[in-house]
Amino acid sequence: MRQIPVDTANATVMVAKAPQPKVKDRRTGEIALDKDGTALMTVEVMFSTPDEVEILKLTVPEPGVSEDLAMGTPVVLTGLVASPWENEFNGQKRHGIAFRAIAVTSLADGASKPKAA
């Protein structure tokens, strides 16, 4: 699947919803892991450019998520990429864009660094 780098240089980004573990299977509550076995988190951010504001749901490896990311915290996104996806469920085709970042780091004063791996 193609990954498209996202330029964040002219964007203001802040947390819209605190990080949550990414759930792989809603029935069992199983947490999603990346190919290296690292737990994944979901972080919703407000991504604002001079022309538009969007809420993006990002997938981020747990060690790349700063502690104390509360709603409204300004953040910087490292390695943000967008990947188009498409699937079929119950005969209906669905498509969208998935966003993934290497890290979401707080810009608030006194913020802690991303968790060590």
Per residue in 44-80, pLDDT (tens digit) is: 999 999 899 999 999 999 999 998 899 999 999 999 9
Cα–Cα distance for residue pair 32/104, rounded to 1 Å: 18
Q: Which pair of structure tokens corresponds to residue 22?
A: 């990414």
What confidence tens digit (pLDDT) does each residue in 9-42 have?
Answer: 899 999 999 999 999 988 998 999 999 999 999 9
Rounded CA Rg of the chain? 15
Check: CB of residue 68 under 8 Å from CB of residue 114: no
Instruction: Give pTM, 2 decimals.
Output: 0.83
